[in-house]
Structure 1
Amino acid sequence: MKTDRQLKDDITSELRWEPSVNAEQIGVEVKDGVVTLAGQTDSYAEKWNAEQAAQRVSGVRALAVTMDVKLAGPHRRSDSEIAASAAGALQWKTYWANDTVKVVVENGWLILAGEVEWEYQRQEAANALRYLTGVKGISNNIVIKTKVTVGSVKSDIEAAMKRRAIADAATIRVEVHGADVTLSGTVKSWPERELARYSAWSTAGVQNVVNNIVVSY
């Protein structure tokens, strides 16, 4: 098990290794395996990439992000310019979002709304917009429509976790209430925790996933 100091050093090294991140602008604090990223980034994409880099490091139990996005002059755009770019990006980068996803821009922050059938479509919409110039953040409020019965959702999720070779699948509890899924239990790594969450989201009919799985090293 890593000490907080070892974990901080590993995360700092991972941030420096990530080419899309300026690690000198990001502060890292660790307490009992809970990581806090502070400081500022030059774009929302850089902030998101820093979060992903931290989560890749073994030993991270939870992640808090207090970084601010500070746009330099050439990267500042009006809300109307960002909205036009967002509409174009959804049209070119997704084949289903034209009539189902709407974008509102407020001071550089994108708010996504609408309905889709699958979680991958919800994430694809955000991915299409994350690297647009001028974006400070994204609130993904797109909801998933239920088109199938959810009586078999629990067994489907458990089977998916076993297929994907999650070593701690037997220690993960799956509770289903309507279209909402709650995961609990323990796993030995952050990637396994994320894989369990992904398995739940990949199941037809799921509209919401609460991931209470604890990483125990």
Structure 2
Amino acid sequence: MSSIASYTKTHDQRIQDDVMQQITWQPEIHSKDISVKVQDANVMLTGFVHGYLEKLAAERAAKTVFGVVSVANDIEVKPPSMRTDPEIARDVVEALRIHASVPDEKIKVAVSGGFVTLTGAVDWHYELENAETAAHSINGVRGIVNLLQIKQRATSEQVRQKIEDALKRMVDLDARSMSVYTSDGTVSLYGNVHSWSEREKAERAAWQAPGVQQVSNHLTIHP
């Protein structure tokens, strides 16, 4: 029993050290106030950063570390200088307007306490992602609540077939170890993958199908 406990502790410590080094390695992360805790390969990030993009960069860095099975990002954004909600809203609206791949006329913006809420309906998931990315870049944003909806464009069977075909085309994914279920715009993924990167690639493939409203990723990581 003691040898198992010792192995788990050593394994978690290795992941903790690797995550901290990976975060330190990222040029876009400047904060020295990020803490990393690991339990059973599940990573929790806490501390403070100056911008929302920095918070996301820390999460991405943690997910690239081998052996990580989940990441809880509880890092708090504390901008160096506080901006008013109307100032932030104005800049977010402008960022959406000038982004070539964002249908800004279909999106409404609300800001409260530095947290931006996006509402409306778009045609594709990449438009939803681009809108969120544009809002992330604005100084003073502390968080994003993305309530954008995607219009239904295909039947559940058509969506399932497109996703399965996409997974089969991806050289670094074993489509045979995954199952795809679709219903009313919601896609559920089940099965096994070898890393967090593979898990996210499968999810991105699901999002690329037309009309997908939600992806429930139940893929299990087995390094």
How high is the TM-score relative to the length of structure 1?
A: 0.94
Change (3 A) 1:36 1:131: same
Determine the structure 1 residue equivalent to 2:63: 55
Say whether residues 1:122 and 2:128 are aligned partners. Answer: yes
Deviation at 1:167, TM superposition (A): 2.9
The within-5 A match list for 1:1-217 is 3-22=11-30, 24-73=32-81, 76-217=82-223
Moved more, 78-87 or 93-102: 93-102
Q: Take 2:174 and 2:184, find their aligned partners in 1: how far apart are those partners?
A: 25
- Deviation of 1:98 (Å): 2.3
CA offset at residue 90 of structure 1?
0.4
Superposed CA offset, 1:96-144 (max 9, x none): 4221111100010000111011110000001111111110000111010
Amino acid of the structure 2 residue aligned with 1:97 = P
Q: Distance in 2 between matches of 1:4 and 1:109?
A: 33
Shift of 1:56: 1.4
Q: Quick one: distance in 2 between partners of 1:23 and 1:188?
A: 31
* TM-score, reference length from structure 2: 0.92
> What amino acid is aligned across from residue 209 of structure 1 in structure 2?
V
Structure 1 match to 2:3: none
SS in 1 for 2:83: coil
8 Å Cα contact 2:31-2:50 kept in structure 1: no
Q: 1:152 to 1:162 in 2, by over 3 A?
A: same
Aligned partner letter, 2:122 = V
Equivalences, count: 215
Equivalent-residue separation in structure 2 for 1:23 and 1:5 (angstroms): 22
Classify the secondary structure of the residue corresponding to 1:148. coil
Q: Could you list the structure 1 runs, at least 4 aligned residues long, displaced by more than 3 angstroms after superposition.
A: none
Equivalent position SS for 1:110:
strand
Q: 1:92 to 1:114 in 2, by over 3 A?
A: same
Letter in 1 for 2:65: V
Residues 166 and 196 in structure 1, CA contact (< 8 A), matched pair in contact too:
no
User: How far is the alpha carbon of 1:70 from its aligned partner?
Assistant: 1.2
User: Could you say what the CA RMSD is over the residues aligned between the two structures, in angstroms?
Assistant: 1.5
Asked if 2 retains the 8 angstrom alpha-carbon contact of 1:94 and 1:125, the reply is no
Q: Which runs of 5+ in 1 are unaligned?
A: none
